[in-house]
């Protein structure tokens, strides 16, 4: 038997032993009839919630000289878990642009700031009235600390009167909702 063959066999055995140990963790020696070992179970919970938001808000404008309210919408938030009992969940909204996109390019349309909303009727949260902005998020509701769920009903978005608008058709404004944990 050559020394090279012996070396290969020994290395194979060594690798097999290393793999066997790698498949498990640390081995503890037990001698006698019984022995106990401390261990720890851990669970990690990420900050989270489940939220149902309106997919769109539609204003059916029939009279340009008066403001138009969209049908009331509801927002439901559940399974709220935050990093401390004092942190709060805040819901905000902003427009992705400074004004609506008119049906005809260049036509006069509404500005994002022409959209306002009321505080709604909240459960487990405090609603905030506000005005849409194309440059920053404005608060719609803030969930009370410690609440596992909350809802806002009767949230009404209103579009200002604007008699300078001359084109009928769909004027659209894309918005972004922000859900964030605030406080410490």
Partner 1 sequence: MRVATYILVAAAVLVSLAVVETRADSVQVDIVGPTFNYTDLASTSSCTTTLAFRNADLGPGRRVRISVRAAAINFSCANGGVNVPCSNVSWTTSGAVNCSGSSGTMDSLSYITVLTGNADATSGSVDVNWNLDPLTAGVVAYSHTLSFTYLVEII
Note the residues at the interface with partner 1 (CB under 8 A). Answer: 23-48, 50, 79-85, 146, 148-149
CA distance 50 to 78: 5
| CA angle, 120 then 126 then 130, to 5° | 55
Cβ proximity to partner 1: between 96 and 123 the closer is 123
Question: Minimum distance from CB of 56 to partner 1 (Å)?
Answer: 27
Min. distance of Cβ 170 from partner 1 in angstroms?
Answer: 37
CB atoms within 10 A of CB 25: 7
Contact 42, 67 (CB under 8 A): no
Nearest distance from residue 23's CB to partner 1, in Å? 8
Nearer to partner 1 by C-beta: 89 or 141?
Answer: 89
CB 59 within 8 A of CB 68: yes
Cα gap 92→94, rounded to integer Å: 7
Cβ proximity to partner 1: between 44 and 164 the closer is 44
Nearer to partner 1, 44 or 135 (CB): 44
Please report how close the Cβ of residue 101 comes to partner 1 at its closest, in angstroms. 36
Whole-number minimum distance, CB 75 to partner 1, in Å? 18
CA within 13 Å, CB half, 111: 8
173, burial (CB in 10 Å: exposed 0-12, middle 13-18, buried 19+): buried
Q: Which is nearer to partner 1, 8 or 50 (CB)?
A: 50
User: How do 130-131 and 115-117 pair as beta strands?
Assistant: antiparallel
């Amino acid at each position: 038997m050559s020394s090279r063959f012996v070396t290969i066999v020994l290395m194979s055995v060594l690798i097999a032993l290393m793999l066997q140990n790698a498949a498990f963790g640390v081995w503890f020696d037990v001698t006698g009839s019984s022995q106990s070992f401390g261990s720890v179970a851990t669970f990690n919970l990420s900050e989270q919630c489940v939220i149902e938001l309106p997919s769109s808000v539609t204003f059916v404008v029939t009279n340009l000289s008066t403001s138009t309210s969209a049908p009331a919408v509801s927002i439901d938030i559940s399974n709220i878990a935050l990093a401390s009992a004092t942190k709060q969940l805040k819901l905000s909204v902003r427009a992705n642009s400074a004004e609506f996109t008119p049906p005809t390019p260049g036509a006069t349309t509404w500005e994002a700031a022409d959209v306002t909303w009321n505080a709604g009727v909240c459960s487990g949260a405090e609603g905030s009235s506000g005005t849409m902005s194309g440059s920053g998020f404005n608060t719609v509701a803030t969930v009370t600390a410690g609440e596992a769920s909350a809802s806002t009903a009767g949230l009404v978005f209103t579009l200002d009167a604007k008699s300078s608008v001359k084109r009928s058709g769909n004027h659209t404004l894309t918005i972004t909702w922000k859900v964030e944990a605030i406080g410490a």
